[in-house]
Structure 1
Amino acid sequence: MFCLKMPITKVLSILLRHLLILLITVGILPVATFGFANQPPNWEVQAQHLVQLSKEYRQRHPELALEKLEELIELARQQGDSLWVAEGLIQMGIVAYHQDDLGASNSFYYQALHVSKPLDDPGLTGRIHNNIAWNHEEANDFESAAQHYRLSLAALQHSTDSSMLAWVLNNLGIYQKDLQQYDSALYYLQSSFELYQLLGNDRFMGYNLNNIGVIYLELAQPDSSLGYLRRAIALNIALGDTLEIVNNIINIADAHTQLGEFTVAEDTLAAWFPIMEEYGNFRQKMIWLGEQIAVCEALGEYQKVAEKQAVLLALKDSVHEQHLFEVMQELEAEYGVKKQRAALEDSYRVISNQRDRFIVLISILLGLVVSLLLLVRMYRIRRKREQELKISHALISAQANQLQTQNEELAQKNSIIKEKNYELSVMSDSVKKANARLVDYNQELTQAVRERTLALQQSNEQLVATNQKLENSNQELDTFLYKSSHDFGRPVSSLAGIVNLAEEERTLDDHRTLWKHVKTTAIGMQQLVYKLQMVHEISQTQKEEVPLDGRALIGQAMDWVHINRPEAQWEIVDQSTHRPLWQRNALLIKTLLGCLLENSWDFRKQSSGLPPRVILGFEEKENQYVLHYHDNGIGIMEEIQQKVFTMFFRGSLASQGNGLGLFIVAKILNQLNGEYRLSSASGQGVSFVFQFPKEALMLPGAPTEEAMPMQQSS
C-alpha cells in the first residue's frame, strides 16, 4: 500500500537502490567473512606458543627449534614488536649453546642486545649479558665472562626483575667458585639466597645452599658445610627434588669424611641408597659408588671396596649401552615428528578447503537475509518519519503563536524598563554626590582618629616612662632612707661615745685625741651629706649649656676631690685624642671623673706608698664621645662587679667610702643616656669605658679641639 501511493519512478529508484545494496552485501560479506575466519589468533599468544615449541625441540631437534624461532622473529618484525624479536634471538642463542656452538650463540645474543637497546629495558639487557657471560665462561674466557657478569649485575640493579637479579648473582657465585675466589663466591651466593627467600623460590634457595656448602667443603670447613647442606636437603625433600637430594647426600658424606666420621658417612650413603638407585642418573651413581669406595678404604673394609669397584665397572659398561639406546630413541622420535607433521599439513589443507566452501554458502544466505531486513527497516523508518513531520508542523504552529504573544508582552515590559532606567539614572546622580560627601567625611574622620591615636600613644609612652622613673625614685628613696639612717646613725653614735669619753678623760692630750675623732666623724658626715646633695642635684639637673674647656676638666675634677680628700694625690696620664669645648653637661662629666678619681685614691694599693696611677683619655667617634679610664688600685672582685653601682654598696666592711661614688656615676650615665663597660680583677686595678652621645655634650656644629697626649700629676 505504501508503494502504490508513490510515483512509479520513485518506486523504481527505491528498488534499484535495494538491489545494489543486495549485490554489494553478497559480494563483500563472503570475502570479509572468509578473511575474518582465516585471520590468525592473537599474535602474542602465537609467539608464546612458538617459544614453547622451540623449548620442546631444543634438545632433540634443534633445527626444528630454530625454524620456529625464525618464524617468531618474522612475525614480531611484521608487528613491529622489538621485544619479541629480542626474545626470539635470545632463544636462538640458547639453542646454539645446547649444540655447543658458542660462537653462533654469542652472535645471536649480540643481535638481541642491539635490538633491545632502544627499548631501555634493564631486565632484558641484564639477562642477555648474563647469557653471554655464561658462554665466555664455558669457553674459559674468564676476563670477558667477568666483564659481562658485571654489566648484567649493573643493569639488573635498575630493574624490577628480582628473580633475574637473583639468578645472575647465583651464576656470579658459581663463576667465582670455579675461579677459587671463595669470599666473592660466598657473598654473591648469599645475596642470591636472600633474594630467592624474599621471592619464596624454595628450589633455587636449595641450589644456593648446596653451592655454599660445596664452597665450605673446598675450604676444608666441613662443620659450616654440613649446616648449609642439611638446610638444602630439607628444601629438596619438601619439593621432592630427588636429583638434588642425591647430590646433597654425596656432599654430606664428603663432609663427614673430612671430619673423619667415616662410619657416619657410610651410614648416610647406605640410608639414602634406595633414593639414589631409583632416581639417580649414571653420573650420580658413579660418584656415589666412588664416595662409598673412599669411605670403605678409610674404614679398612677392603672386601666392600672390591664389591663396589666391580659394581662401578658394570655401571660404566651399561652407560655405553644406555647412550646407544637413547640415540636410537632420538632418531625414532625425529622420524615420527616429521611424519606426523606431514600428516597434519595434509589434513589442514583438506579442512581449509571444506571450510572455505561452507563460508561462501553461509555468506550468500546471510546477504539475502540482511537485504530483506534492510528493506523492511527502511519502510518502517519512512512511515515513522512522516508521522513525526506532521506532529512537528503542529508543534511549530503552536510555538509560533506563543512566540508572538510573548513578543507583545516583552515590548510592554521594555517600555516600563526604559522608564525605570531613567528614574534610576536620576537617582544615581544623587547617590554619587552623597557618596562623594561620605568619602570626604570618612577621610576627615580617619585623619582625626589617626592624629588622636598618635597623641594618645605618645601620652601613654610618656606616662609609662614617668611611672618607671617614679618607681625607680621610690626604690632609691626607700634604699636611701634605710641606708642613710644607718650611715647617719654610726657617726652620731660615735659622737655620743666621744662625749662620754670626754667627760671621763682628764688630761689635755686625751681631749685632743677625742677632738680629732670628733673632727674625723664630722668630716665623714659632711662628705655623706655632700654626696646625698649631689645625688639630688643630678636627678633635678636639666641639660645646661655652660661651656667648659676640655683642658681644665681634669684639673677641676681633682679640685672637686680635694674638697673632701685634701691629702689625695695621683699620677695622671692623659691620652686624649680630642679635647672638645664642652657645650652641654660639662659639670656632670666633671663630677663623674671626680667620683672615679676619689675611688682610685680610696682603693689604692697602700702597701706601695706611692700615689695611684690613672690613665685616661677622651676619644671622638662618629656619633659619640668615649672616655677610657684605668687605675692600678686593688681592683673589684668579679662576684661584686654587678653590685658596685648600687646605692650605699660597699665591697667589704673595711671599705672607707660611703657607697655613693659609683652610684653617682650610674646616675650621671642615666641622665646623659650613656653606656659603660667594666673590666677588673682583684689586685689588678679597674678599667672603665664610657660612651656618651654627642647631642648630650655638644651643640650642633660646635668646634672640637685636638690635643697632643700629655702627662699631668698632682
Structure 2
Amino acid sequence: MTADKDHQTQANEGSILIVDDNPSNLRVLSQMLSGRGYSVRPVTDGYLVQAGVRASPPDLILLDISMPDMDGFEVCRRLKADEESRDIPIIFISAMSEIEDKIKAFTAGGVDYITKPFQLDEVIARIETHISLRNLQKQLEAANHELTDYRNYLEEIVKERTKELEKANQKLQQEINDRKLIEAKMLSSQRLVDLGTLAAGITHDMKSPLQVIVGISESLKKQIENGSPDKEYIAEKLDIINRNGWRIEAVMRSLLSYVRYSGSENEPHDLNSLIKETLLLIEHQLNIWANVEVITELEEYIPVLRCDRTKISQALINLLMNARDAMPSGGKITIRTIFQKAENRVLLQVEDTGVGIPQEIQSKIFDSFFTTKPVGQGTGLGLTNVMETIQLYQGKIELSSVVNHGTTFSLYFPVKPAASKSSEK
C-alpha cells in the first residue's frame, strides 16, 4: 500500500522527454530520473520528437546536440516554431563545452545547458527549477485565461446593462417629451383662459368710457340741433371724450402687445413700461380683488431688457395671481424694480403679505403640475412658466417666504449688450 502511494507521488513529479541517439546515455538518464519520481520517455531520433510531443506534450525536454540525422539545434528550432510545443522548456545536455555551442543552443530556444559528464544532483536541480517555472507559467496562463473569460463575461453584462439603460433612457426621454407636450398644451390652454379673462375685464373697463363718449356725443349733438352750442361746454365735453378715447386706445394697445408674439427674444423693452402695461391689462381684476392693494416702487432709470415682452408680462401676471391667491383676506402686493449696477442686472420683485409658503414645499413650487390649490383651481404650471422664462434669459429666481408674513419672488435679469448687425446676420 505504501509502495503504491510512493509510486503515485513519484509519478506526480512531472514528465520528461529524453532525446539522445546513444542508448547507454538514454538508459542512465532514464533510470536516474525515474528513481526521482519523473515519468520518462526516451527518443533516439530527432525526426520522431515532434510527433511524440504532439501526441503527449511533456513538461520538459532533455535534448542531446550531436545526433546523426538531425542535430539538437534543429530539433529545438522546429519545436519552438510549432505553437503547440514552443512553450515547453528545453535543456541541452551535451559533451560540447565550447562557448559558441552554448550560445547557439540558447539562440535556438534552449532554457539551459548541461555539460557532460554531469552530476545527477545538478541535473535534478535544473530540471526541478525549470519544471517549477513551467508550472508557474501554466498557472499564470490559466489565470490569464480565467481573467479573459471573466472580462468577456463582464463585457457581456455591460452590453446587456447598456442596452437596458438605453431602452430605459429612450422610455424616459419619451415620457419627458410627452410631459413637455402636455405642459405646452396646458400652458396654451391656460393662456387662452387668461386671455379670455383679460378680454372680459377689458370689455368691462371699456364699457364705462364708451358710455361716457356716447352720452356726451349725444348731448353735443342735441345742442347743435337746437342751434345753441356753447363753445366752452363743447370744449369741455370734447376734452372728456378725448381722454376716454385715449384710455380705450391704451387698453387696446396693451392687449394687442400681450397677444401678439414679438418674434424676437432680443428686442429692447423698458421693464417699467412692461409692468405698467401689464397692470393696465389686469386693472379690472385688480379692482375686484377684495382688500388687495397693489403698490409699485419702480426705479426711474434702469437699462432696457432684451426680451420677449409677452413672456415677461405673462410671468408677472402669474406672480401677481399667486400673490392674490395667497391673501384670501386681503393685503398688499408690492412690485419693485432695481438696477444693480455692480452685478449689471435688473431686479424685479413681487412681494405680498400673504400666508407664506411652508419651508418643506418651497423646493417643489417650481415643479411642473405642483400646486397647493384645490382641484380645478390651478394647473401647477404658473411658477414653472416663471422659472422657464427667467432661465431663458440666463437669469435666476430667488424665493423668500415666512409663513403668515408673506412671500417675495426676486427675478434677476442680466443686462445684455445689443447684438451687432454682423452677429445678427
- Bin the TM-score by the shorter chain: 0.3 to 0.5
The normalised TM-score by structure 1 is 0.22
The normalised TM-score by structure 2 is 0.36
Structure having the larger proportion of residues in strand: 2
Larger Rg: 1
Query: Looking at both structures, which has the greater relative contact order when contacts are Cα pairs under 8 Å and sequence separation is at least 6?
Result: 2
